[in-house]
Structure 1
Amino acid sequence: VLNKLPKRQQPEAKQALWEIYRADTKTEAHQAFNRFIQTYQAKYPEATQCLAKDRDVLLTFFDFPAEHWAHIRTTNPIESTFATVRLRTDKTRGCVSKDTILALVFKLVESAQKRWLRIRGFKHLADVIEGVPFKDGYRMDDNPDMTPMQDVA
């Protein structure tokens, strides 16, 4: 989105995007999203179209436990794992077969996994897998009249 805006507009737009990203509730995120679209639609339609086409996907993390939001918002685990593999395999260029490079990559990932941090809120994974509904990071009861439950774990 920022690449579709002039450099002078990028800091202000970045702040507006952070308001969407760091909203406490999905409702607040939608409000910030609408403000961004209204602000930049007239002059920079490409930027707003780029953002608007993925609106639902971008705000899906609100339907997961709040403890998982930090993990959902980042791609760092993927990037850091592949960076480790890339650094080591680049040095072995030309002197390995398909089988040996596969074994090397397996061992590198296995070694990198020792430094991985445990996922926050891992106790909620079973609920997520079972399809228990969450709203704004809180588990919802079967009774829709009740307010969101606070985590007790």
Structure 2
Amino acid sequence: SEVIYVAMGIDEDGHREILSFSIGGKESAYGWREVLQDLHRRGAHEVLLGVFDGLAGLEEAFKETYPKADVQRCVTHKMRNTLPKIRDTDKTEMVADLKTIYTAPDREVALANFDVVQKKWGKLYPKELKSWEEQLDVLLCFYDYPAAIWYAIYTSNPMERTNKEIRKRLRPMNSLTNMDAAEKIVYLEALGYNEKWSQRVLRGFGEAQTKADLSQKFAAKYPLAQEI
């Protein structure tokens, strides 16, 4: 019944790592604000992009701590939130049409594809398409980054998979004596995850670094950090 806040990061070289976790309470923007502020206090000062779901207030909490960072709303979560509101007879076709928006070769084509989807479905699902329209900036932010790493930054699915693994470890242990015991299990799971990924580089990041795209974006947002 307790929430586990988990923050995961990818560095410029493409190494993925669990940066922090905390257990307790119910998920809220306030809880995430504390997690983000703790990350900042511990030295995570320069962040290029935050990727997360549509929890109310989360984007504002993130920007309070990292005002220079970009925001990417998880496209997978957006699809999940939209589909329950679509008639069963329309779902397959609607999914295919919505995918043309975030699988386009560039932002310009993505916006053009959205216009097509809006004209096709707007009268049947005005609220759903209006919601997509209002969030396009954060749903399509990944197009501002090198194409080689789009797959890694347009969704928070890796975080979702990690959460599932943590739940698998905790679920059979219904006799945990206290919160400290649960924290130890999550801690060991995080250590194992980070050890596994410490020698792996995500596909596309080597190419992005070779072209200096990520380094240039980082320098543009945090020039003083480059000088130091």
| TM-score in same-fold range (> 0.5) | yes
Normalised by the length of structure 1, the TM-score is 0.76
Displacement, 1:85? 1.1
What residue in structure 1 maps to residue 220 of structure 2? 131
Q: Distance in 2 between matches of 1:2 and 1:99?
A: 39
Matched, 1:82 2:163: yes
Displacement, 1:13? 1.3
What SS is found at the alignment partner of 1:126?
Answer: helix
Instruction: Work out whether residues 2 and 47 of structure 1, in 8 Å CA contact, stay in contact via their aligned partners in 2.
Output: no
Higher relative contact order, structure no. (Cα contacts within 8 Å, ≥ 6 residues apart): 2
Displacement, 1:125? 4.2
Displacement, 1:18? 1.2
Amino acid at match of 1:75: S
Instruction: Work out whether residues 107 and 140 of structure 2, in 8 Å CA contact, stay in contact via their aligned partners in 1.
Output: yes
Q: Distance in 1 between matches of 2:177 and 2:189?
A: 15
Aligned residue runs from structure 1 range 108-119, under 5 A? 108-116=189-197, 117-119=200-202
Counterpart selection for 1:61 from 142, 146, 150: 142
Gaps of 5+ in 1: 133-153
Displacement, 1:3? 2.2
Instruction: Work out whether residues 19 and 32 of structure 1, in 8 Å CA contact, stay in contact via their aligned partners in 2.
Output: yes
What residue in structure 2 maps to residue 25 of structure 1? 106
What residue in structure 2 maps to residue 103 of structure 1? 184
How many residues get paired? 132
Counterpart selection for 2:94 from 13, 21, 35: 13
Instruction: Work out whether residues 81 and 109 of structure 1, in 8 Å CA contact, stay in contact via their aligned partners in 2.
Output: no
Gaps of 5+ in 2: 1-81, 222-228
Q: Distance in 2 between matches of 1:44 and 1:80?
A: 31
Q: Distance in 2 between matches of 1:9 and 1:130?
A: 46
What residue in structure 2 maps to residue 45 of structure 1? 126
Q: Distance in 2 between matches of 1:111 and 1:22?
A: 33
Q: Quick one: structure 1 residues 13 and 95, their matched pair in 2 at CA, closer, same or farther if it must change by over 3 Å? A: closer
- Compare 1-10 and 11-20 and name the one that shifted more: 1-10
Aligned-pair RMSD on alpha carbons? 1.9
Normalised by the length of structure 2, the TM-score is 0.53
